[in-house]
């Protein structure tokens, strides 16, 4: 709940400054994440890595489900999925319950590439956070979870 004190007065300045720093640093984080993804695997952008991770986690899904989950236009997902299919990372299979529907699944190569990139990303995070204490890591993880849950609620994503 936002109070009057959050909107004005001495607390607003500190709060506003903190929010500005958070916005700036999250933008830098996203920029670094895209650049890092490109270095880790030439065929796998950050978006591609994210889509592959979702497909693996879900055990496959329809392109329309991806579009809804990421609140992206169907044409954007179609282009991304097309590139993943062309790279041999994703394949379409008929849904056994409804043969009119195609479900996207990772190929064997898709699982391998996702595992390689995931392992490289974990190493990078472990190195970057090596000097953080256990309580600092726990608190950072909790803050990220809390932030992302709030963002998902706001976007209506489940």
Evaluate whether 12 touches 6 at the Cβ level (below 8 Å).
Answer: yes
Is the Cα dihedral 84, 50, 69, 93 positive or negative?
Answer: positive
Collapsing DSSP states into helix, strand and coil, what is residue 53?
helix
Mean pLDDT of all residues in 33-47: 74
pLDDT class for 107, splitting at 50, 70, 90?
very high
Asked if the model's pLDDT at residue 7 lies above 70, the reply is no
**pTM for this entry:** 0.72
Mean pLDDT of all residues in 134-147: 95
Q: What is the pLDDT of residue 152?
A: 82
Mean pLDDT of all residues in 93-103: 89
Closest CA to 114 of 31, 6, 41: 41
DSSP label at 132? S
């Amino acid at each position: 709940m936002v109070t009057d004190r959050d909107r004005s007065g001495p607390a607003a300045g500190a709060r506003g400054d903190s929010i500005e720093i958070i916005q700036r640093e999250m933008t830098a984080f996203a920029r670094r994440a895209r650049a890092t993804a490109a270095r880790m695997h030439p065929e796998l952008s950050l978006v591609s890595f994210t889509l592959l991770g979702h497909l693996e986690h879900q055990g496959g899904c329809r392109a329309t489900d991806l579009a809804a989950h990421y609140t992206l236009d169907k044409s954007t997902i179609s282009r991304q999925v097309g590139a993943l299919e062309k790279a041999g990372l994703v394949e379409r299979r008929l849904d056994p319950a409804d043969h009119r529907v195609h479900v996207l699944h990772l190929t064997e190569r898709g699982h391998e590439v996702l595992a390689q990139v995931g392992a490289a990303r974990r190493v990078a995070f472990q190195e970057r956070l090596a000097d953080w204490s256990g309580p600092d890591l726990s608190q950072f993880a909790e803050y990220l979870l809390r932030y992302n849950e709030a963002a998902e609620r706001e976007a209506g994503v489940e």
